[in-house]
Chains A and B, each alone.
Chain A
């Protein structure tokens, strides 16, 4: 089981969007059983996968990452599979593949903000590092599912919170989406230098790559792209932000389904190519 964290210090760089298309392409075109764990209390990827009503239903049925974390307080915790929403993608093709490919989701809930704050407080009181405790707990639960999934993708919240550090700590590969502008590139440098190296002291075995969302093309973005190519493992092509991507992110109803080409339209080929390169990087 490979674990991938989609993470960056900066918000709005396309972490949830990348989580959506990477998980769908890896499942569909590389025949992998994928579990997405939405660690972000904003629940963006949960909303993209399940729709608003689907997230409401998951909350009502107590099947979210928040409820899984709450079981931690009750002792040994409960089995992770209890909280997973199976067949989370709206792509027809993934359903048709049956047991050869899957895309399941452990949805998030905004209540995780409250939980995280309280969890941090209790850990610091006991002089413990919260991300160490949480990652040990989650890793223990993931071991039970190691033969059920080929890839686990953590959609991490922006910043360097306990939930983000937990996802990064557990990951074999970190994928950082970014935008080629001055602020985002500087933020990515802080994320790798301060966050990954100085705070988490990640060993060299944790692989890191960068993918890019292009809002517009101009001389600055070209300079920034070159800078990213020099400094990081940049996986290309960049994804141009467009109305097709915005449409792909929206699932109107819980039971609505569509085909890959209907979902990603003109961006389908680019998204698929980028995901193939990320897949090869993860499994190399």
Chain B
């Protein structure tokens, strides 16, 4: 049974130049434990697709089924809670909260979900896996780009999500850090069985992904 399935997923925008079809009739099925890489040129709609699947944006039409639940039908608060429990997000520009310490950023999702996972020990344990345990009391502005992305990855992991959506997580990193991030995601995917759906330009991801999907003009090719 697929953990995520889209049916005729479409997203259109109204612009001054007319209607732009970012995603058109995408039908996609992702099995639990898969590492799916979505690739495509700029403007192909891959980021829009991952945002729709992650419930960060609303589709114009179509369905997104996660564990058989159509998240497009959920109310705002229900969707927020659903996201908090089932999804983790890693963004290209990390989006850590500058006023929170590394430890607080990592554990942020559990603050909203009242998760039992929230503890300093757990935070330390996770931080040690990605070797940033000595930075827990630092603020995001005090750590490097690679460390920042590791914090972002740990944040996405904190609630033990079923799916991690990664939107060009290596886009702002150098080669060494990019490879490190890809390895981390692969490791998470293999060791924890977390499903990973990643949007990227980076062709190296093919070595790590179990499946690669290419998007062109909003359609899967």
Q: Do A and B bind each other?
A: no
B contacts, CB < 8 Å to A: none
A contacts, CB < 8 Å to B: none
